[in-house]
Amino acid sequence: MTEAVIRIDKVTGGYGDLTILHGVDMTVPAASWTTIIGANGAGKSTLLKAIAGIVRCRSGSMQFEGRDVTALDSLARLKGGIGLVPQGRCNFPLLSVAENLKLGAFTRKLAAADLEVELQQVTARFPRLRERWHTMAGNLSGGEQQVMEMAMVLLAKPRLLLLDEPSLGLSPQAMGMVFDTIRELTASGLSVLMVEQNARQALECCDYGVVMELGRSKLFDRAPDVLAHPEIRRLFLGL
Ligand SMILES: Nc1ncnc2c1ncn2[C@@H]1O[C@H](COP(=O)(O)OP(=O)(O)OP(=O)(O)O)[C@@H](O)[C@H]1O
Ligand SMILES: [Mg+2]
Protein backbone atom coordinates (compact mmCIF):
# COMPACT_ATOMS: atom_id res chain seq x y z
CA MET A 1 0.00 0.00 0.00
CA THR A 2 1.10 3.59 -0.63
CA GLU A 3 1.82 6.04 2.17
CA ALA A 4 -0.98 6.53 4.73
CA VAL A 5 -2.70 9.88 5.27
CA ILE A 6 -4.39 8.71 8.45
CA ARG A 7 -4.04 5.69 10.69
CA ILE A 8 -6.90 4.91 13.02
CA ASP A 9 -5.99 2.54 15.81
CA LYS A 10 -8.63 0.85 18.03
CA VAL A 11 -10.75 4.01 18.24
CA THR A 12 -13.83 3.95 20.45
CA GLY A 13 -16.30 6.79 20.89
CA GLY A 14 -19.95 7.82 20.79
CA TYR A 15 -22.50 10.17 22.26
CA GLY A 16 -22.98 10.51 26.05
CA ASP A 17 -23.15 7.02 27.50
CA LEU A 18 -23.77 5.50 24.09
CA THR A 19 -20.77 3.81 22.49
CA ILE A 20 -21.01 3.70 18.69
CA LEU A 21 -17.43 3.08 17.59
CA HIS A 22 -16.22 -0.17 19.14
CA GLY A 23 -12.56 -0.17 18.20
CA VAL A 24 -12.13 1.00 14.61
CA ASP A 25 -8.86 0.11 12.91
CA MET A 26 -8.28 1.64 9.50
CA THR A 27 -5.41 2.97 7.41
CA VAL A 28 -6.37 5.39 4.66
CA PRO A 29 -3.89 5.62 1.77
CA ALA A 30 -2.70 9.11 0.82
CA ALA A 31 -3.69 10.87 -2.42
CA SER A 32 -6.39 8.30 -3.04
CA TRP A 33 -10.14 7.97 -2.77
CA THR A 34 -11.57 5.62 -0.16
CA THR A 35 -15.28 4.91 0.27
CA ILE A 36 -16.92 3.63 3.45
CA ILE A 37 -20.10 1.64 2.97
CA GLY A 38 -22.36 -0.02 5.54
CA ALA A 39 -25.90 -0.27 6.87
CA ASN A 40 -27.78 2.70 8.33
CA GLY A 41 -26.61 3.23 11.90
CA ALA A 42 -23.32 1.32 11.43
CA GLY A 43 -21.39 4.35 12.68
CA LYS A 44 -20.08 5.72 9.39
CA SER A 45 -20.96 9.37 10.08
CA THR A 46 -19.76 8.97 13.67
CA LEU A 47 -16.39 7.77 12.39
CA LEU A 48 -16.03 10.78 10.07
CA LYS A 49 -16.97 13.06 12.99
CA ALA A 50 -14.37 11.33 15.17
CA ILE A 51 -11.71 11.91 12.49
CA ALA A 52 -12.75 15.57 12.27
CA GLY A 53 -12.56 15.88 16.09
CA ILE A 54 -16.29 16.55 16.56
CA VAL A 55 -16.85 13.24 18.35
CA ARG A 56 -14.14 12.63 20.95
CA CYS A 57 -12.02 9.47 20.91
CA ARG A 58 -12.56 7.69 24.23
CA SER A 59 -9.72 5.29 23.60
CA GLY A 60 -7.42 4.42 20.76
CA SER A 61 -5.48 6.89 18.63
CA MET A 62 -5.31 8.67 15.28
CA GLN A 63 -2.15 9.57 13.40
CA PHE A 64 -2.62 12.16 10.64
CA GLU A 65 0.39 12.35 8.30
CA GLY A 66 2.39 10.62 11.01
CA ARG A 67 1.39 13.07 13.75
CA ASP A 68 -0.79 12.08 16.70
CA VAL A 69 -3.97 14.21 16.48
CA THR A 70 -6.07 12.24 18.99
CA ALA A 71 -6.15 15.06 21.53
CA LEU A 72 -6.78 17.89 19.03
CA ASP A 73 -10.22 19.53 18.84
CA SER A 74 -12.14 20.06 15.60
CA LEU A 75 -10.80 23.57 14.91
CA ALA A 76 -7.21 22.45 15.38
CA ARG A 77 -7.81 19.51 13.04
CA LEU A 78 -9.38 21.79 10.41
CA LYS A 79 -6.42 24.16 10.63
CA GLY A 80 -4.14 21.13 10.51
CA GLY A 81 -5.61 19.88 7.23
CA ILE A 82 -8.66 17.71 7.98
CA GLY A 83 -11.89 19.05 6.44
CA LEU A 84 -15.35 17.51 6.85
CA VAL A 85 -18.42 18.04 4.68
CA PRO A 86 -21.14 16.72 7.00
CA GLN A 87 -24.21 14.73 6.03
CA GLY A 88 -27.31 16.77 5.19
CA ARG A 89 -27.98 20.38 4.38
CA CYS A 90 -25.87 23.46 4.91
CA ASN A 91 -24.99 25.02 8.25
CA PHE A 92 -25.64 28.69 7.43
CA PRO A 93 -28.89 28.80 5.43
CA LEU A 94 -29.44 32.53 6.07
CA LEU A 95 -26.08 33.56 4.66
CA SER A 96 -25.50 34.02 0.93
CA VAL A 97 -23.43 31.64 -1.16
CA ALA A 98 -20.65 34.24 -1.22
CA GLU A 99 -20.69 34.61 2.56
CA ASN A 100 -20.68 30.85 3.09
CA LEU A 101 -17.68 30.41 0.82
CA LYS A 102 -15.76 33.20 2.54
CA LEU A 103 -16.49 31.52 5.88
CA GLY A 104 -15.01 28.34 4.47
CA ALA A 105 -11.64 30.08 4.20
CA PHE A 106 -11.79 31.75 7.61
CA THR A 107 -9.13 29.60 9.30
CA ARG A 108 -6.55 30.70 6.74
CA LYS A 109 -6.77 34.45 7.39
CA LEU A 110 -6.13 35.30 3.74
CA ALA A 111 -5.60 38.86 2.48
CA ALA A 112 -8.64 40.11 0.53
CA ALA A 113 -6.89 39.84 -2.85
CA ASP A 114 -5.76 36.26 -2.19
CA LEU A 115 -9.23 35.30 -1.02
CA GLU A 116 -10.66 36.74 -4.25
CA VAL A 117 -8.27 34.61 -6.33
CA GLU A 118 -9.30 31.48 -4.46
CA LEU A 119 -12.99 32.30 -4.81
CA GLN A 120 -12.42 32.66 -8.55
CA GLN A 121 -10.70 29.27 -8.65
CA VAL A 122 -13.42 27.50 -6.71
CA THR A 123 -16.21 29.03 -8.78
CA ALA A 124 -14.36 28.11 -11.97
CA ARG A 125 -14.66 24.52 -10.72
CA PHE A 126 -18.29 24.98 -9.65
CA PRO A 127 -19.76 27.66 -11.99
CA ARG A 128 -23.28 27.21 -10.63
CA LEU A 129 -22.15 28.82 -7.37
CA ARG A 130 -21.19 32.03 -9.17
CA GLU A 131 -24.63 32.12 -10.77
CA ARG A 132 -26.20 31.83 -7.31
CA TRP A 133 -23.64 34.13 -5.63
CA HIS A 134 -26.08 36.37 -3.73
CA THR A 135 -28.73 33.71 -3.06
CA MET A 136 -29.33 32.68 0.53
CA ALA A 137 -27.82 29.22 0.91
CA GLY A 138 -31.05 27.89 2.40
CA ASN A 139 -32.81 28.72 -0.88
CA LEU A 140 -30.45 26.61 -3.00
CA SER A 141 -31.63 23.22 -4.15
CA GLY A 142 -30.39 20.22 -2.16
CA GLY A 143 -27.80 19.40 -4.81
CA GLU A 144 -26.58 22.99 -5.02
CA GLN A 145 -26.18 23.05 -1.24
CA GLN A 146 -24.07 19.88 -1.38
CA VAL A 147 -21.80 21.44 -3.97
CA MET A 148 -21.56 24.67 -1.95
CA GLU A 149 -20.62 22.76 1.21
CA MET A 150 -17.90 20.93 -0.67
CA ALA A 151 -16.56 24.18 -2.15
CA MET A 152 -16.65 25.76 1.31
CA VAL A 153 -14.55 23.04 2.90
CA LEU A 154 -12.13 23.04 -0.05
CA LEU A 155 -11.49 26.72 0.70
CA ALA A 156 -10.00 25.61 4.04
CA LYS A 157 -7.38 23.77 1.88
CA PRO A 158 -7.62 20.38 3.58
CA ARG A 159 -5.17 17.59 2.76
CA LEU A 160 -7.70 15.00 3.95
CA LEU A 161 -11.25 15.66 2.76
CA LEU A 162 -14.03 13.79 4.58
CA LEU A 163 -17.32 13.64 2.66
CA ASP A 164 -20.48 12.30 4.27
CA GLU A 165 -22.85 11.16 1.54
CA PRO A 166 -21.99 13.82 -1.04
CA SER A 167 -24.47 12.40 -3.55
CA LEU A 168 -27.48 12.67 -1.21
CA GLY A 169 -30.34 14.24 -3.15
CA LEU A 170 -28.31 14.61 -6.34
CA SER A 171 -29.51 13.57 -9.77
CA PRO A 172 -27.41 10.82 -11.41
CA GLN A 173 -25.84 13.49 -13.63
CA ALA A 174 -24.95 15.75 -10.70
CA MET A 175 -23.59 12.75 -8.77
CA GLY A 176 -21.37 11.93 -11.75
CA MET A 177 -20.06 15.49 -11.71
CA VAL A 178 -19.30 15.35 -7.99
CA PHE A 179 -17.49 12.04 -8.44
CA ASP A 180 -15.50 13.49 -11.38
CA THR A 181 -14.50 16.41 -9.15
CA ILE A 182 -13.36 14.04 -6.39
CA ARG A 183 -11.24 12.15 -8.92
CA GLU A 184 -9.60 15.39 -10.09
CA LEU A 185 -8.92 16.40 -6.48
CA THR A 186 -7.21 13.10 -5.65
CA ALA A 187 -5.20 13.32 -8.88
CA SER A 188 -3.82 16.62 -7.57
CA GLY A 189 -2.77 14.99 -4.30
CA LEU A 190 -5.77 15.36 -1.99
CA SER A 191 -6.80 12.32 0.07
CA VAL A 192 -10.55 11.67 0.20
CA LEU A 193 -12.47 9.50 2.66
CA MET A 194 -16.13 9.37 1.75
CA VAL A 195 -19.25 7.70 3.11
CA GLU A 196 -21.72 6.76 0.40
CA GLN A 197 -25.06 4.96 0.19
CA ASN A 198 -24.75 4.63 -3.59
CA ALA A 199 -22.22 1.93 -2.85
CA ARG A 200 -21.92 0.36 -6.26
CA GLN A 201 -21.49 3.63 -8.16
CA ALA A 202 -18.94 4.86 -5.63
CA LEU A 203 -16.93 1.63 -5.64
CA GLU A 204 -16.85 1.69 -9.43
CA CYS A 205 -15.10 5.09 -9.29
CA CYS A 206 -12.94 5.08 -6.16
CA ASP A 207 -9.67 3.35 -5.21
CA TYR A 208 -10.39 1.59 -1.92
CA GLY A 209 -13.51 0.41 -0.11
CA VAL A 210 -14.22 -0.07 3.59
CA VAL A 211 -17.20 -1.96 4.97
CA MET A 212 -18.39 -0.83 8.39
CA GLU A 213 -20.58 -3.00 10.56
CA LEU A 214 -21.74 -2.30 14.12
CA GLY A 215 -19.09 0.30 14.85
CA ARG A 216 -16.15 -1.63 13.42
CA SER A 217 -14.43 -1.70 10.06
CA LYS A 218 -15.07 -5.20 8.87
CA LEU A 219 -13.16 -5.14 5.59
CA PHE A 220 -10.72 -2.89 3.75
CA ASP A 221 -9.66 -3.67 0.20
CA ARG A 222 -9.17 -2.25 -3.26
CA ALA A 223 -12.52 -1.07 -4.57
CA PRO A 224 -12.76 -3.67 -7.40
CA ASP A 225 -12.13 -6.44 -4.85
CA VAL A 226 -14.84 -5.08 -2.53
CA LEU A 227 -17.19 -4.96 -5.53
CA ALA A 228 -16.35 -8.56 -6.37
CA HIS A 229 -16.78 -9.88 -2.81
CA PRO A 230 -19.78 -12.29 -2.87
CA GLU A 231 -21.09 -11.52 0.63
CA ILE A 232 -20.75 -7.77 0.12
CA ARG A 233 -22.45 -7.94 -3.25
CA ARG A 234 -25.38 -9.68 -1.60
CA LEU A 235 -25.61 -7.60 1.60
CA PHE A 236 -24.68 -4.09 0.48
CA LEU A 237 -24.76 -3.86 -3.28
CA GLY A 238 -28.04 -5.59 -4.08
CA LEU A 239 -26.30 -7.70 -6.72
N1 LIG B 1 -25.83 13.20 18.07
C2 LIG B 1 -26.18 11.95 18.40
N3 LIG B 1 -26.61 11.66 19.65
C4 LIG B 1 -26.94 10.39 20.01
N5 LIG B 1 -26.88 9.33 19.17
C6 LIG B 1 -26.47 9.56 17.92
C7 LIG B 1 -26.10 10.87 17.47
N8 LIG B 1 -25.73 10.78 16.16
C9 LIG B 1 -25.86 9.49 15.84
N10 LIG B 1 -26.30 8.75 16.89
C11 LIG B 1 -26.53 7.29 16.88
O12 LIG B 1 -25.33 6.64 16.53
C13 LIG B 1 -25.58 5.50 15.71
C14 LIG B 1 -24.71 5.57 14.48
O15 LIG B 1 -25.07 6.74 13.75
P16 LIG B 1 -24.29 7.23 12.48
O17 LIG B 1 -24.90 8.53 12.11
O18 LIG B 1 -22.83 7.19 12.73
O19 LIG B 1 -24.66 6.07 11.45
P20 LIG B 1 -24.41 5.97 9.90
O21 LIG B 1 -23.67 4.69 9.67
O22 LIG B 1 -23.82 7.22 9.38
O23 LIG B 1 -25.90 5.78 9.35
P24 LIG B 1 -26.63 6.40 8.02
O25 LIG B 1 -26.23 5.47 6.91
O26 LIG B 1 -28.07 6.25 8.35
O27 LIG B 1 -26.19 7.80 7.83
C28 LIG B 1 -27.09 5.52 15.42
O29 LIG B 1 -27.68 4.53 16.22
C30 LIG B 1 -27.53 6.90 15.83
O31 LIG B 1 -28.83 6.87 16.37
MG1 LIG C 1 -24.50 8.74 8.20
Full set of structural domains in the chain with CATH: 4-89+160-235 (3.40.50.300)
Contact 231, 238 (CB under 8 A): no
Per-residue pLDDT, 52 = 98
Instruction: Going from the first residue of the chain to its last (239 residues), give the mean pLDDT of each consecutive group of 10, the final group possibly shorter.
Output: 90 96 97 96 97 97 98 96 89 94 94 96 93 96 88 96 92 88 94 95 96 96 95 84
Q: Is 15 in the pocket of ligand 1 (CB under 6 A)?
A: yes
Nearest CA to ligand 1 atom 24: 40
Determine the atom of ligand 1 nearest the C-alpha atom of 47. 18
Q: Is 43 in the pocket of ligand 1 (CB under 6 A)?
A: yes
Ligand 2 geometric centre to CA of 131 (Å):
30
Q: Kindly report the three-state secondary structure assignment for every residue of 111-154.
A: CHHHHHHHHHHHHHHCHHHHHCCCCEHHHCCHHHHHHHHHHHHH
pTM: 0.95
Ligand 2 geometric centre to CA of 184 (Å):
25
Q: Is 77 in the pocket of ligand 1 (CB under 6 A)?
A: no
Per-residue pLDDT, 209 = 97
Specify the pairing of strand 4-15 against strand 82-85. unpaired
Ligand 2 (ion): residues with CB under 5 Å are 45, 87
Per-residue pLDDT, 144 = 87
Q: Is 38 in the pocket of ligand 1 (CB under 6 A)?
A: yes
Residue 52 to residue 143: CA distance in whole angstroms: 23
Ligand 2 geometric centre to CA of 43 (Å):
7
Determine the atom of ligand 1 nearest the C-alpha atom of 87. 27
Ligand 2 geometric centre to CA of 215 (Å):
12
Which ligand is nearest the CA of 197, by number?
Answer: 1
Per-residue pLDDT, 87 = 86
Compute how many other C-beta atoms are within 10 angstroms of the C-beta atom of residue 74. 15
Contact 6, 158 (CB under 8 A): no
Per-residue pLDDT, 136 = 97
In the 8-state DSSP scheme, what is residue 167? T
Residue 195 to residue 52: CA distance in whole angstroms: 14
Nearest CA to ligand 1 atom 16: 43
Residue 202 to residue 207: CA distance in whole angstroms: 9
Per-residue pLDDT, 177 = 84
Q: Is 18 in the pocket of ligand 1 (CB under 6 A)?
A: yes
Per-residue pLDDT, 237 = 82
Per-residue pLDDT, 92 = 92
